[in-house]
Structure 1
Amino acid sequence: MWPFRKRLKTPSLDPTYGDPHRKALIRALQRRKWKFARELFNMAADPDEMAFLMEAVADVDGIQGSIGEWVDAEPESPLPVLVAGCHAVYWAWEARGDKRAKYTAAAQFREFHKRLHYAEELLRRVLTLDPDNVTAWTWLVTSSRGLELEPGEAQQRFEAVTRLHPGHLVAHEQRLQYLCAKWAGSDEEMFDFARGAAANAGPNSLLHELVAVAHIEKWGNSDREAGNEHIRSEEVCAELLTAAENSIFHPDYIPAGPGWAPRVAVFALAFELADEFDAAAHAFALLENVVTPWPWGIAGDPVEIFTNSLEYVTANRS
């Protein structure tokens, strides 16, 4: 099903990335068609596809007020509890907001932690029913960052995922965020993790995107002059190009599959920041004007930032 996606003519924010499966799931959850939602989740072929579908839950308003219907209807099933728990993680971040800690009110933090603890209760309940539920463990990796759990516990959660599905893309991305200097780690830990994951991934894997994410994080966590100096250095540009050649620029790569668009977009943004305009144009061409909240939303309205970036790259490429 994945290769069949809508081709967009103008930049458009599309939470489905043009994927009809994800679109149908969002509509089913919005309309409380729980049996149909179950069927759609059950179509996921592997944990990466399941994570791709579960990420769509974030785009459904009102889940916390209605999901109890599904939980009560299927008291022995872990799936509706899993959906509620994963959505509660997004719900918690909604309460916190996306600003740095120093710009976040104490009341926001209290609600953030309250909702995260609620999410953890639900996800732990899933694990009592299904101890090897990869998706539950993955969203616990995310909540470990918000709750600022000690490093050992956070590491154990990540290892619980990779023991079951070694290349889980979302779990790796969330683990990298935990290791960022702005959360519980450092630049050294972040880069060691990103490079290690890429080295173990092999060619034609989107895990190489972690290298680009790490450099964007370094750029964003520095003052503008230092950030530009870092990401435009010869060594970083070479590393970004190697990462792309092993993933989205690999001859066997097809821009399709679960969660493809934001990972391609990360490379487009990283190459733009690095003044590697030909490589950036290549990445933008793969996107075909599909706009995703991440990474474009880190600097403002995603469609506006995407459009400005594309125009800047087009104007400056050789």
Structure 2
Amino acid sequence: MPANSVPPDRPLLDPVLAFPALAPLRAATLAGDWDSLAGAFAAVSDEEDRTLASRVVAETPGSEEFLRLTAERLPRDPLAGTLYADRLLTMGWQIRTGEFAAFVTGSRLKEFHAHLRRAEALLIGVCAEHPEYALAWYLRLNTARGLELGPSETRRRYDRLVEHHPHHFGGQQQLLQQLCPKWGGSWEKAEEFADACTEKARPGSPTAALVGIVQLEHWLHLIHTEHDDAEEYVEDPGRHAALTRAAAASVLHPDFDSARHHAVVAHGVFAALHSLAGRWDEAAPHFRALGNRLSAFPWEYLDSDPVAEFDRHRKLALAKG
């Protein structure tokens, strides 16, 4: 087998392996080649796809110096400032880790906030000069939550994003996080938002997966607080029915494009919930649509090793379902 080939059933967490069209973005970032990077970004016209393209750049280790110098050299270029801001955000959240807020204190919290404030300053400038720039508004939802600016400010930023780009799935996920109890919201608010977005969405869009994301968030909360209720929660017939309706309106709708980047998260959410409930026959179609593609979310919610967790549940679902 050639050294650069990938076994067909090997789980692919790296989006560049799952979507080879993203490879030029990483190559240009590693090479410090701004012209090639900007050209690769220009080829990504869909705003949903641009969020993943930005993440590929932001998660490239050591890219911060190249991106900082580029942003300083091109202060009026919205892409340069936004990509550097995303790198700062990525570094900040890596410092913070995924622990609950109560466990993130002291120097770690201070350094986390410092990174987010630097990113926020860059993004404010981009949004002031380019109010329609979706990627910057999307990232400002992240900074609002991390800097604990409150639900009203996060909602204001979300409204600015959807004013120009309605039904932005990444933006919807960011606001949904803010509406969950762990960030000061409530399950009622989170569920209402997911239902309202689903009702307005075009059939075959990924939006209805928000219904499943709320269920996963609630399940995770129960795992950390009331273990005995977590299994009952995902097996509840009413929630199962809501999940079935959501899948029919989104990932299982004939107009849904499972080749798109957002399909990895959307199908993954339904696959994970059905797996947690032992509904292997219902999980199997989602795993078949995913193939060997996965993202850290939702599988990191199930275990600290998302690849192993995805692979284990996929094997069970395809064998039993």
Q: Does the pair score TM above 0.5?
A: yes
Considering only aligned residues, what root-mean-square deviation do their CA atoms show, in Å? Answer: 1.7
1:90 and 1:59 map into 2 onto residues whose CA distance is 7
Shift of the 205–211 alpha-carbon distance from structure 1 to 2, 3 Å rule, reads same
Aligned to 2:139: 139
SS of aligned partner of 2:208: helix
SS of aligned partner of 1:206: coil
2:27 partner letter: R
> What are the residue-to-residue correspondences of 1:188-227 with 2, within 5 Å?
188-222=188-222, 223-227=226-230
1:193 and 1:243 map into 2 onto residues whose CA distance is 14
Per-residue Cα deviation, 1:64-120 (whole angstroms, up to 9, x for no partner) = 222123224323312111111122112211110111223323211111111111110
Aligned to 2:15: 15
> What are the residue-to-residue correspondences of 1:148-227 with 2, within 5 Å?
148-222=148-222, 223-227=226-230
Shift of the 79–202 alpha-carbon distance from structure 1 to 2, 3 Å rule, reads closer
**1:225 Cα deviation from its structure 2 partner:** 2.0
More displaced, 203-212 or 256-265? 256-265
Aligned to 2:316: 312
1:257 and 1:250 map into 2 onto residues whose CA distance is 14
Mapped pair 1:281 → 2:284: yes
Aligned residues: 312
SS of aligned partner of 1:121: helix
1:252 and 1:151 map into 2 onto residues whose CA distance is 33
Q: Give the % identical residues.
A: 29
Aligned to 2:94: 94
User: Where in structure 2 are there 5+ consecutive unaligned residues?
Assistant: 1-5
More displaced, 186-195 or 120-129? 120-129
Q: Does the CA-based 8 Å contact 2:251-2:267 persist in structure 1? A: yes
1:141 and 1:227 map into 2 onto residues whose CA distance is 29
Q: Does the CA-based 8 Å contact 1:255-1:286 persist in structure 2? A: yes
1:86 and 1:176 map into 2 onto residues whose CA distance is 20
Q: Does the CA-based 8 Å contact 2:204-2:256 persist in structure 1? A: yes
Per-residue Cα deviation, 1:251-305 (whole angstroms, up to 9, x for no partner) = 2323112332122111110111233221101101111122321111232112111
Q: Does the CA-based 8 Å contact 1:86-1:123 persist in structure 2? A: no
Aligned to 2:3: none
**1:314 Cα deviation from its structure 2 partner:** 3.8
2:188 and 2:33 map into 1 onto residues whose CA distance is 46
Aligned to 1:245: 248
More relative contact order, 1 or 2 (CA 8 Å, 6+ apart): 1
